[in-house]
Amino acid sequence: MTSDTLTLVNGEVGDSLPVSDRGLAYGDGLFETIQLLDGRPLLLEAHFARLQRGCERLGIPFEDVLKPLRADLARLRNEGTLQRFGVLKILVTRGSGGRGYLPQPGLTPTRILMLSPRGSYSGDPAVQGVRVRICDLRLAHAPRLAGIKHLNRLEQVLARAEWHDPDIREGILLDQDDCLVEGTMSNLFWVRDRRLYTPRLDRCGVEGVVRNHLLARASHEGLEVEEGRYSLSALDAADEVLLCNSLIDIWPVVALDARCWSPGPLTRRLQRLLKEDYLAC
């Protein structure tokens, strides 16, 4: 740990785990990355809801996780610690115990809270927009793991290693059928004829908390929203393209290979709505 970071492991300050922890050995766990605004974890209940879905999918007892997590956060809030940081990362593993893939019964989940400053992004990407590329890697279909934010991110690691050009801020991932899925660190939307589109994530990909919030918010605002399976050619007809996650909020996409867009009115409207929702949290 450094002076500008803080890590709690099972409620105690520290930054080490037993080598037998299944999160380390097998990626047997989940994580959430949450933006802090003046010490307030934004969209916290939505993050907890996704964490619960992930725990249920993996068979990790969520009731053993949620209450201690809330206690940790309450303590950090009361101590004024959360106000010093911009990012909260929560990791939950099945816990420590035994060799082999078969989990031993009765393991106590490990919970980790990591606090760090929020990084800055050069070039004001939320205003100016970003250039992106198509990744060579194709995401494998894994319906049992689709949607949740499990600890195995090797596909994203390999995809992100494909380029080093700092002017390209994100890579777009397709699946094994060459359908659009998401970015390496973000979810993907586009606009055509004032209708909002995003890929369905029932075979692979992560159901981002901001993604789901925007889908609900757009529907509430009376905007037409569609989830489905789309090829890359869907972006050729797009009027606007945008990326989102819990730390970048919303970035307009302005270039993908020879395709170019301008940050459009619906993108700007969604940015304003998200900011309003954050202030109301």
Q: Would you name the residues annotated as active-site residues?
A: 33, 149, 182
Strand-pair partners of 253? 130
Element (H, E) at 133: strand 130-139
Matching residue, tokens 């890929």 = 199
Neighbour-count burial for 203-241, b at 16+ CB within 10 Å, e otherwise:
bbbbbbbbbbbbbebbeeeebebeeeebeeebbeebbbb
Angle between helix 44-58 and helix 63-78 axes, rounded to 10 deg: 150
Please state, in angstroms and as integers, the Cα–Cα distance from residue 88 to each residue in 64, 110, 160, 207, following that order: 20, 16, 22, 19
Distance in angstroms (rounded) separating the CA atoms of residues 147 and 204: 7
Distance in angstroms (rounded) separating the CA atoms of residues 281 and 276: 9
Long-range contacts of 215-219 (CB under 8 A, 24+ apart): 217/270, 217/273, 217/274, 217/277, 218/270
**DSSP secondary structure code for residue 82 in this structure:** G
State both tokens at 182: 């998401």
Strand-pair partners of 272? none
The pair phi, psi for residue 135, each rounded to 5°, is -80, 150
Tell me the one-letter amino acid at 239.
D
Burial of 78 (0-12, 13-18, 19+ CB in 10 A): exposed
